[in-house]
Amino acid sequence: MTEFTLNGQTQRVEADPDMPLLWVLRDELKLTGTKFGCGVAACGACTVHIDGVPTRSCQTFLGDIEGAEITTIESIDTPEARAIREAWVELQVPQCGYCQSGQIMSASALLAETPKPSDEDIDFAMEGNICRCASYARIRRAIHRAAEIMEA
Amino acid sequence: MLHYLDTKLPQPTPTRRAFLKLSAGAVGGLLIGSVIPMRGVAQSAGAGDTLVTPFVHITPDNRVIVLSKHLDKGQGAATGLATLVAEELDASAEQVEAVFAPSNPEVYQNLLFGVQGTGGSTAMANSFDQYRQAGATARAMIVNAAADAWGVAAGDISVANGVVSGGGNTATLGELAVQAALQEPPAEVSLKAPDDWVYIGKSFPRVELAQKTRGSVGMFGIDAQPEDCLIAVTARPPRFGATLASVDASEALSMPGVVQVLEIPQGVTVLANNTWAAMQAREALVLDWAEGSGETRGTDELMEEFRALLDAPGNPSAPRGDAAARLAEAAQVVEAEYFFPFLAHAPMEPLDMTVLYDGETASFWGGSQIQTLDHGAAAAVLGLEMGQIAINTTWGGGSFGRRATFDSHLAVETATIAKAWLDGGNGARPIKLIYSREDDIRGGYYRPMALHRVRAGLDAEGNIAGWEHRIVSQSIFAGTPFESFVFTEGVDHSTVEGTSDTPYAIPDMHVDVHHPQVGVPPLWWRSVGHTHTAYVMETMMDELAVAAGRDPVEFRLAYLEGEPRLAGALRLAAERAGPAGPDGTSRGVAVHKSFNSYAAEIADVRLRDDGSVKVEKVTCGIDCGVPINPDNIAAQIEGGLGYGLSAVLREEITLTEGEVDQFNYPDYPPLRITDMPEVEVHIVPSTEAPTGIGEPGTPPIGPAVANAVFAATGERVRTLPFSRHGLA
C-alpha cells in the first residue's frame, strides 16, 4: 500500500511498487489525461508535478512516491496553468493534442519558476517534450503570451 | 466528450455499389432528401427531440453537433467540417461541436475514395460542397419550421449567429429543432456567395482545443476505459514475415495481473488487468521464432541491390522528348545519386484499438483512419456482417499516415484477439490492444527506402537540356485494394509523383522506376512519394541554377510560366522573405506542388559551432484554393515542415539482417523545440476549390534546407538524414 496526495486528495494504492506512476494514474485510478508516449522518459507526454517539480511519470515508480504531492493535468489550477491554458487556446497551439498535457505541465512549472522566461529558458524547460505535430513555434509564443497574461 | 464510449449507432450494411461510386455528383443526393433516424448523439445530449440529419444534429439545448466523417488526428478536419456547416446554417461559433460519424460508407464515404477514409489531404477538397449543403439543408428546415410556427413567409425569416428572426419573433436554432425535425428536407438548397461568408476564410476556432488543454476523459483511443477492460500487448516477430516456432508462457502466466496468453497469427498476445502487467509479462515470454518468409537483408545489402538496379532501365513514367539526345549534346551535365532511408511515422499516441465482442456483435474504439477497410476486415475476422459491428472513431493522437493501412492490421489483430478470447470459453470482456513505442518504431509500415539517380543537362545558355531520372523504391500500392488507382504499367505513381508530372516545363525528360520486392511493409508517410521526389527535384534545380549562374528563384520561375499558381506561391514567399543573409544566415529555396496545392519555402539557416544545422526561419507561400481556415493552414504548414525537417535532420530506420536497429525516441530522435524555426506563412488569395493542406508543407522543407546548407558549406547532402554527415 502506497499513500500519497493526488490532486489535493489523499490516495492509497495497492499495486506492484515497481509499477510506473503513469500506469497507476491511467489504469488503476482512471486518470487518462497523463499520456503514454515512450515509456523511457524521452518524450515528456507523461509529465506530472511531484512536489511542484515537472517529472516523467513513466520512470517514477509507485514505491518511490510515498508521501509525495502529485498534480496531474486534470486538476492543475495554478495561476500559471490558467494563463498557459488561456494562451494555448488563444494561439490555437494543439494539433493532435496528445502531447499537450505534458507540454502544459512543463510550461506551467517553467512559469512558476521563471515568470518572464527568455527563449533560452523555454528551450531548456521544454526540450524534453516532443510534439510530432511540431506545434513548437506556437508553444514558444504561447509561453511568452502566458507570461504577459500573468503580468497583467 | 464521452459520446463514443456509450454510443452504438445503427450500421447499414454497405453494398458493393457504395464502393464503386467515386464521383461527388453520384452521392450528393444521399444528403439532400435523406434524414436517417439516429439517436446516438441525441441520447447522450440528454434530449430525445433533435433535428437529425446525416451530417448535423441540432439539439433542443441549442447545440449544433457536426458529424465528422473524417478522422481528426491533428490536421483540423473536424473543425473544417464544422466551419462549413456553421457557415451555411448561420450557427454561432460557440454552439458548434464535432463528433465522429459512425462507419457507414453509403453516407460517409470520402467522395474521392469511394470508401470512408481520411488521407491524401482530401478532407476539405471532397467535403466542401457536401458539408455546406448539409448546413444549408438544416437551415432551410429551421427556417420552414419558424415560418410555420410564426405564420411568417419563409422569405421573411433570417438567421444570423444562431438566432432566427422574422415577423417580430426570435428563437434559437435549438428552440426550433423539434419543429424543424418534422419538416421535409428541401429538394435543393442554394449556397452562399463567397462575399457573404462569415466563417470561411476567418479562422474558425478549433472545436476541441479547450478539452485538449485539460486532459479530458475519453478523447483518444488509448483513453478508452470500458468497465472490466483487459489490456493486450503482442510479442511480434523480430523480423518481418517470421513466424512463431514455440513459446513458453509459464513464467508470464504466473505474474500478478496476467489473465491469459494467446497464440495468434500475428505473434503471442498477453492479456492482463493493467498495461504494466501486460508489458512485464510479455518480457517474460520465452519465444523462439522460425525464419519463415522473413526479410533477412540489412540496409547495406538492400542499398547495394537497389544501386545495382540504378544501372538497368526501369519502367518508364510519362517520358517525353528525347532526354538522352539532349544530354549527349549538353554543354554541362550534372549527375547525382540520392539515398532516402526507411522512416517511421512515430505519432505521439502509439497505435491502439479497443474492442468489445460478444459473439454476435462487436464495437471497436480507436483512431480508425479508413473506417470502411477496418470495418470490413474486422467483420471478416469475426465472421459477422458489417451491420453487426460498430466502429467508433476517436480523436487520433497524430497519424501522419500510420493509422491508415491497406491491410487494417490493427483492426485485424484486435478482432483476432477478441475472437480467440471468446472462443477460449471466456465471457465477453472489452479488450484494449496497445502498442509500446518500441512496437511502433520496430513495427514496419515505413516510408519505403528510395534511391534516385539524376542526370540533367544545361545548354550553353544555361537552359535545362535533358533530364534522366531513375528511382528504385518498393511499391506502396502494389497488391493493395487501391492498386488500380495508382499502379499502372509497372509504375507506382506514388513513387514517381513530383518527378514525371513536375510542374516545371522540362520538354526532354525520362523518368523510370524499379520496384524491388522487400519484406518490410511499406506505407504512405505524410506526403508519400513527395517526401523524396521533392528533395531530388528541388536540390537538382538548385544545382542547375548554380551551374548556370542563375538566381534560384528566377531560374525556377523561368520553368513555371505555365504554372501560375506555383509561380505565385514562390513570388509571394520570395517577396516576403526579403533579402537573403540576415544575421549571417544562408538561404535555400524550394517549391513543390502536391495534393493539388502549391507550396514555396525559403529557409534561412545557420550552422552552430558544432557544425549542426539550425534553421532559423522559414518563409512559406501557399496556394491551397479558398483558404477555409487561414490559421489552420498556417498551423499545418508549420507542422508539416516541422515533420519534414525532423526526418531530414535525424530520422532513419535501418535494418541489420532483417531486424530493425532502432527502438524508441532516443535512437529515432524527433524534432524538438530547440530545432524548430520561426515560420511565416503567407497565403495566396484564391477563389479556386479548396485543396490539400495537411501534407503540402512537408515536401519543400528538406530541399530548402539542403540548398541553404550548400550555400553555407558548398556541400550537397544527398544521403539522408543530415545526422550521417555531422550536420545534425
Three-state SS string across B278-310, please?
Answer: HHHHHHHCEEEEECCCCCCCCHHHHHHHHHHHC
Q: For residue B15, what pLDDT is reported?
A: 33
Task: Note whether B411 and B323 are same-domain residues.
Answer: no
Q: Are the C-beta atoms of B546 and B330 separated by less than 8 Å? A: no
Written as one letter, the residue type at A100 is Q
A136, closest residue in chain B (CA to CA): B673
Asked whether residue B214 is assigned to any structural domain, the reply reads: no
In total, the C-beta contacts within 8 angstroms joining chain A to chain B are 184
B202, B212, B354, B671: best to mutate for the A interface, most A CBs within 10 A: B212
Digit-coded pLDDT (tens) for B107-116:
999 999 999 9
Task: Note whether B491 and B565 are same-domain residues.
Answer: yes
Task: Return d(Cα A36, Cα B62) in angstroms, integer.
Answer: 36
Q: Min CA distance, A15 vs chain B (Å)? A: 10
Strands B613-623 and B678-683: parallel
Task: Note whether B275 and B171 are same-domain residues.
Answer: no
Indicate the number of domains in chain B: 3
Digit-coded pLDDT (tens) for B219-234:
999 999 899 999 999 9
Task: Note whether B280 and B322 are same-domain residues.
Answer: no
The answer to whether ipTM exceeds 0.85 is yes
Q: For residue B633, what pLDDT is reported?
A: 98
Strands B243-248 and B450-458: unpaired
Digit-coded pLDDT (tens) for B325-339:
999 999 999 999 999
CATH architecture of A2-71: Roll (3.10)
Q: How many CB atoms lie within 10 A of CB B112?
A: 17
Contact check, Cβ <8 Å, A16/B349: no
Strands B158-160 and B163-166: antiparallel
Q: Min CA distance, B273 vs chain A (Å)? A: 9
Phi, psi of B673 (to 5 degrees): -60, -30
Asked whether residue B215 is assigned to any structural domain, the reply reads: no
Closest CB to B205 among A74, A92, A129: A92
Q: For residue A127, what pLDDT is reported?
A: 98
Q: Min CA distance, A30 vs chain B (Å)? A: 7
Question: How many whole angstroms from its chain centre is CA A43?
Answer: 12
Q: Look at residues B39, B45, B72, B44 and name the one whose alpha carbon lies nearest to residue B60.
A: B45
Dihedral sign, CA of B654, B655, B661, B663? positive
Q: What is the pTM of this model?
A: 0.94
Task: Note whether B140 and B174 are same-domain residues.
Answer: yes
CATH topology of domain A79-151: DNA polymerase; domain 1 (1.10.150)
Q: Min CA distance, A105 vs chain B (Å)? A: 10
Q: For residue B48, what pLDDT is reported?
A: 54
B217, B276, B283, B619: best to mutate for the A interface, most A CBs within 10 A: B276
Q: How many CB atoms lie within 10 A of CB B688?
A: 12
Task: Note whether B265 and B168 are same-domain residues.
Answer: no
> What separation in angstroms does the CA of B324 have from each of B327, B465, B538, B542?
5, 9, 21, 21
Q: Which residues of chain B fall short of a pLDDT of 70? A: 1-48
Digit-coded pLDDT (tens) for A20-43:
999 999 999 999 999 999 999 999
Task: Return d(Cα B93, Cα B207) in angstroms, integer.
Answer: 9
Contact check, Cβ <8 Å, A20/B276: yes
Q: What angle do CA A55, A61, A67 make, to 5 degrees?
A: 80
Q: Are the C-beta atoms of B109 and B116 separated by less than 8 Å? A: yes
* Residue extents of the structural domains in chain A: 2-71, 79-151
* Joined grid coordinates for residue B126: 471532397
Digit-coded pLDDT (tens) for B640-676:
999 999 999 999 999 999 999 999 999 999 999 999 9
Task: Note whether B418 and B482 are same-domain residues.
Answer: no
Asked whether residue B300 is assigned to any structural domain, the reply reads: no
Q: Look at residues B125, B120, B123, B129 and name the one whose alpha carbon lies nearest to residue B98.
A: B123
**Cis ω before B721 (30° cut-off from 0):** yes
Task: Note whether B594 and B549 are same-domain residues.
Answer: yes
Task: Note whether B454 and B474 are same-domain residues.
Answer: yes
Closest CB to A74 among B208, B214, B219: B214
Asked whether residue B561 is assigned to any structural domain, the reply reads: yes
Task: Note whether B127 and B70 are same-domain residues.
Answer: yes
Digit-coded pLDDT (tens) for B116-144:
999 999 999 999 999 999 999 999 999 99
Task: Return d(Cα A148, Cα A140) in angstroms, integer.
Answer: 13
Per-residue pLDDT of chain A (152 residues; tens, 9 = 90+): 999 999 999 999 999 999 999 999 999 999 999 999 999 999 999 999 999 999 999 999 999 999 999 999 999 999 999 999 999 999 999 999 999 999 999 999 999 999 999 999 999 999 999 999 999 999 999 999 999 999 99
B4, B70, B213: best to mutate for the A interface, most A CBs within 10 A: B213
CATH number at residue B380: 3.30.365.10
Closest CB to A92 among B635, B670, B677: B635
Q: For residue B550, what pLDDT is reported?
A: 97
Digit-coded pLDDT (tens) for B7-39:
333 333 333 322 222 222 222 222 222 233 332
Q: Look at residues A76, A46, A81, A82 and name the one whose alpha carbon lies nearest to residue A61.
A: A46
Q: Look at residues B124, B96, B190, B111 and name the one whose alpha carbon lies nearest to residue B686.
A: B124
Asked whether residue B697 is assigned to any structural domain, the reply reads: yes
Q: How many CB atoms lie within 10 A of CB B360?
A: 9
What does R_g of chain B's alpha carbons equal in angstroms?
A: 27
Q: Look at residues B327, B647, B300 and name the one whose alpha carbon lies nearest to residue B469.
A: B327
Q: For residue B142, what pLDDT is reported?
A: 97
Contact check, Cβ <8 Å, B666/A88: no
What are residue B317's DSSP bridge partners?
A: B511
* Joined grid coordinates for residue B216: 479530458
Q: For residue B436, what pLDDT is reported?
A: 98
Which letter, b or e, does each residue of B68-99 get, where b requires 16 or more Cβ atoms within 10 Å of its Cβ?
A: bbbbbbbbbbbbbbbbbbbbbbbbbbebbbbb
Q: For residue B29, what pLDDT is reported?
A: 21
Q: How many CB atoms lie within 10 A of CB B402?
A: 27
Q: Is B307 exposed, middle or buried (0-12, 13-18, 19+ CB in 10 A)?
A: middle
Identify the helix (H) or strand (E) that includes residue B313.
Answer: none
Task: Note whether B100 and B146 are same-domain residues.
Answer: yes
Q: Which residues of B touch A140 (CB under 8 A)?
A: 673, 676
Write out the residue range of the structural domain in which residue B93 sits: 3-208
Task: Note whether B335 and B274 are same-domain residues.
Answer: no
Contact check, Cβ <8 Å, B214/A34: no
